[in-house]
Structure 1
Amino acid sequence: VNVLKIKEKIGEGTFSSVYLATARLQAGSEEKMALKHLIPTSHPLRIAAELQCLSVAGGQDNVMGVKYCFRKNDHVVIVMPYLEHDSFLDILNLLSFEEVREYMFNLFKALRRIHYFGIVHRDVKPSNFLYNRQLKEYALVDFGLAQGTPDTKIDLLKIIQSEDQQESCSQNKSHVTLGNKVSASATAPRERAQQLATKTSDRKPLSQTRIEQRNEGKEGPMHHSAQRSVFGERNFNVHSSTFQESSTAKQSKVMDVASRKLVTKKKIISTKTVSNGLARKAASSCPAKLTCDCYATDRVCSVCLSRRQQVAPRAGTPGFRAPEVLTKCPTQTTAIDMWSAGIIFLSLLSGRYPFYKASDDLTALAQIMTTRGSKETIQAAKTFGKAILCSQEVPAQELRMLCERLRGTTSNSTKSAGDVQVSPSQEPALPAVMRKRLEPAPQAPVKQIQHPKYNCHEGDGGLEIRIPEKTTDLKGWDEVPDEAYDLLDKLLDLNPATRITAKDALLHPFFKDTRL
């Protein structure tokens, strides 16, 4: 490549921007490329791991590969092949059922490929699975949040995994919520950050202070640091030295290397952190068998203060996070990618996207209960060591009936089951979160066109042609087989241990006529 010429920005995420560019090849021809520019605050180990995922697992089975990579100072650009793709929202209700089958088959091929190498993508969603409907081409992209399984074949993911485990087990980590919605966290010592930085890059030691304040629920970073307790996650942390529990500690200030604008707030942070630290130390002598007595009250008891914080990755996009991610289960496997694939399949079968849309994890979990049932969710959570309390029981929905009602179609298999007509009063009640989706779409206006040739109408006007904008072709949606909903049920298994794998999904009867 002699010259890369940037045309336009085609995407933007939390940690990167993507540009369309043309590469002038030595032969004289031009080729379209996608340039992913990683923001300078990305951790160097995370960048290197993403590159290794692309180079080792990418380039086949619908997984995006890498062409080149270059770096200038803290700026890293990854050059990848460009796949012109369709917007998922634009084509959702245009796809035939057969196209949906092909789409899911190719998604499972990509997931089988990365899971074989022990890569957990952690952010599977339509915008990260590019699809060219005309050319029938697919590409799984964006490994910026990927993690490794215990037996991963990606060496750098092993390093990230060991770093995460050491940080979660560190006795130096505590977390408190302070006034003015500022959250503070004391991380591992400076030496640890220096060792990690020396191991991965020649960048400066990443042990800076970070203070971020939330304004009306919006994230507003004020100072940046590259070290994060969980790689790839945005969190609101103050990285500071360990406070000494003495009278002089009460007057100490939070270390701030980037600005002097928060002097008045630093005293509040310092004194409250110390008082919380003393409370935790006093509470640490509590017997382990004592039960909490602060539930549903406006205080925190000594038992709760003495508990060690559980650190668990929470990567992904709201609406696609698996139950074990929402409940902060520390052990997360490739099953979280299969749950996300199930949510995509649910959107394709129901014609509704996004299917779940929640602003926080608890709301997202409640929405899952509306389709999978509260009892089932609570029972599944017990299998991975989590307890969920639900104020009322919500029954599970029958997936076929739910999807057909949302899409507004009825399959022949449903009709043939006795041909019994069900009155509206007998129909199963949908949760409130789903009822809004069943409101009929406004009818498309009928166009009246006067034909220039024909004047055969007696009197005035000429010939009027009525053209409905929407065709009545069901595109196979009246013949959705039971195997489709059986696969959906296995993908949305609330228990990650029994959730279907990508390899088994490709062998499911739903794909019996599809070539591997």
Structure 2
Amino acid sequence: MAKARVGLRHAEHIDVHEDDIQDMQDDEAQETLDESMDPLEESGRTVDSSDEEVEDAVQEDMARFEETFVGINKRFRLINRIGEGTFSTVYKAEDLEYNKYSNDWDIDERENRKWSSPAHRRRPSRRPHYVAIKKIYVTSSPIRIFNELELLYDLRDSDSVCPLITAFRHLDQVVAVLPYFQHHDFRDYYRDMKISEMRLYFKSLFTALRSVHAKGIIHRDVKPTNFLYNPAQSRGVLVDFGLAEREGTDSQNCACHMSDEDRRYRINNSVHAQTQSSGHNASSYPKNDTRNSRRANRAGTRGFRAPEVLLKCTQQTCSIDIWSVGVILLTMLSRRFPFFHSADDIDAFLEITTIFGRKKMRETSLLHGQIFETNVPSYSEGGHSLEKIILWCTGRTGDKTQPKKELDDDEKEAVQFLYRLLECNPAKRITADEALRHPFLTKAYEDSEADEDMVDLVEA
């Protein structure tokens, strides 16, 4: 995908008062603050026509928005509501002042002009130009809003990342103006994707994450509805940086960043080890534990959080985004969405245990200085292979009288890639840059070249 460069307009200054934000009194309150909307409840597609039918409730919503945000209707013509989330609502709008500004961010316009005559390029574009207006809810923290806009500005020249065009503030209301990208609902195409199409999807997604991670930014909420993908163009754009943060923000030392020797020493001298040595069995815990509960950033969406997020790792890295991408690939290969659908962090961790087994989860917990024990008999010690999970989900293990069914070669290669994404140890998990060099994704370039050869053959 071509680079999308932002041409920032003269926006109204956004005043941010860095008021002290008190810590939440309990984890449930923090969960509410940082929990993104359930993926099944989110809007996830756009339509081709700018004159699409608009529901009465949406018309009323847009009318209220225009009434409360003075002057917005002079710059933009609101068309429809195209997305609703926990922290914002997104509208499709026509940019009425498009020709007054530099619009380097407009990829489609650049592509159109590339094939136009020199005389046509000099003329102002007369076709309608659409943008996405993100209305950020006033319940969002001013620091959170400022952080999102600042990160979007830093990412303005990044491949496959939605750039910030400009932002406006009126009283306590802030809106961000972003490019409008035509895309399809993930639920409309994920079951039918061929492996060759998956390669293109993840090549585009990892191109975006490579740019984001190169700047030390963790997206924290990678999921299908935050990657606007157009299968016809094999192009996607990573959006919604409302929960994103710079790597190292509020970070504290965690056992996962210690050497193996130091980690073993810490475990052998832990409160848990002392409890065991006092004659209690392995699953015993201190009766009176006076230590403060561990606090860590747990922002994101249920079902897409990495194990270290669920274990409250205090030194999280960009690798948490890679795990989320792995969940998307697992969803495509298994044809199940959402694949994980837990009610809370404990259930989410047990869902992962179902696949990887108790032994792996004990090791993963110890890596972050936590102890994992369960007496639920249905969780096996060794877990199940991802191949078996996919065969079971796609109905290829039911009939024992038929020959044993296996994954085809392309699926096997996808699963090998999936193991690198769903690596429970974040230090061993593949990076976005490494993913783009993995054979599973490098073949996406070969597939594209083969398609071009076929086109050339037809044209000849």
Which interval holds the TM-score relative to the shorter structure? 0.5 to 0.7
- Figure out how many residues of one structure are paired with residues of the other and give that number: 322
User: Residue 334 of structure 1 aligns with which residue?
Assistant: 318
User: Residue 400 of structure 1 aligns with which residue?
Assistant: 387
User: Residue 88 of structure 2 aligns with which residue?
Assistant: 16
User: Residue 453 of structure 1 aligns with which residue?
Assistant: none
Q: Measure how far apart 1:302 and its partner are.
A: 7.2
Distance 1:365 1:302, change over 3 A: closer
Q: How many Å separate the matches in 1 of 2:416 and 2:286?
A: 46
Matched residue SS, 1:309: coil
Q: TM-score, normalised to structure 1's length? A: 0.58
Distance 1:390 1:302, change over 3 A: closer
Q: How many Å separate the matches in 2 of 1:131 and 1:289?
A: 49
Report 1:434-453 matches (<5 A): none
CA contact (8 A) 1:20 1:32 kept: yes
CA contact (8 A) 2:95 2:129 kept: yes
Residue ranges of structure 1 left out of the alignment (5+ in a row): 151-160, 166-286, 411-420, 429-476
Q: How many Å separate the matches in 2 of 1:97 and 1:301?
A: 50
Alpha-carbon deviations, 1:205-241, whole Å to 9, x = none? xxxxxxxxxxxxxxxxxxxxxxxxxxxxxxxxxxxxx
Matched residue SS, 1:513: helix
Larger gyration radius, structure 1 or structure 2:
1
Alpha-carbon deviations, 1:270-327, whole Å to 9, x = none? xxxxxxxxxxxxxxxxx9997599x99xxx98732x2123210111111101111111
Q: Measure how far apart 1:137 and its partner are.
A: 2.0
User: Residue 212 of structure 2 aligns with which residue?
Assistant: 114
CA contact (8 A) 2:196 2:444 kept: no
Structure with the higher fraction of residues in helix conformation: 2
Matched residue SS, 1:375: helix
Report 1:41-80 matches (<5 A): 41-80=139-178
Q: Measure how far apart 1:15 and its partner are.
A: 1.2
Q: Measure how far apart 1:387 and its partner are.
A: 1.1
Q: Measure how far apart 1:479 and its partner are.
A: 4.2
User: Residue 377 of structure 1 aligns with which residue?
Assistant: 361
Matched residue SS, 1:480: helix
Choose which of 390, 415, 418 in structure 2 pairs with 1:488: 418
Q: Which amino acid aligns with 2:212?
A: I
CA contact (8 A) 1:329 1:386 kept: no
Matched residue SS, 1:71: strand
Choose which of 389, 403, 413 in structure 1 pairs with 2:373: 389
Q: Which has the higher contact order (CA 8 A, sep 6+)?
A: 2
Q: How many Å separate the matches in 2 of 1:137 and 1:338?
A: 19
CA contact (8 A) 2:213 2:318 kept: yes
Q: Measure how far apart 1:513 and its partner are.
A: 2.7
Distance 1:45 1:96, change over 3 A: same
Q: How many Å separate the matches in 1 of 2:399 and 2:357?
A: 23
User: Residue 309 of structure 2 aligns with which residue?
Assistant: 325
User: Residue 251 of structure 1 aligns with which residue?
Assistant: none
User: Residue 303 of structure 1 aligns with which residue?
Assistant: 288
Residue ranges of structure 2 left out of the alignment (5+ in a row): 1-8, 10-73, 100-123, 253-270, 447-460
Q: Measure how far apart 1:30 and its partner are.
A: 2.0
Q: Which amino acid aligns with 2:242?
A: G
Distance 1:427 1:97, change over 3 A: closer
CA RMSD of aligned residues (A): 3.1
Distance 1:30 1:375, change over 3 A: same
Choose which of 328, 332, 341 in structure 2 pairs with 1:357: 341
Choose which of 417, 430, 436 in structure 2 pairs with 1:500: 430
Q: Which amino acid aligns with 2:354?
A: T
Matched residue SS, 2:129: strand
CA contact (8 A) 2:202 2:441 kept: no
Q: Which amino acid aligns with 2:132?
A: A
Q: How many Å separate the matches in 1 of 2:272 and 2:162?
A: 49
Q: Which amino acid aligns with 2:138?
A: P
Structure with the higher fraction of residues in strand conformation: 1
User: Residue 194 of structure 2 aligns with which residue?
Assistant: 96
User: Residue 449 of structure 2 aligns with which residue?
Assistant: none
User: Residue 245 of structure 2 aligns with which residue?
Assistant: 147
User: Residue 509 of structure 1 aligns with which residue?
Assistant: 439
Q: Which amino acid aligns with 1:423?
A: K
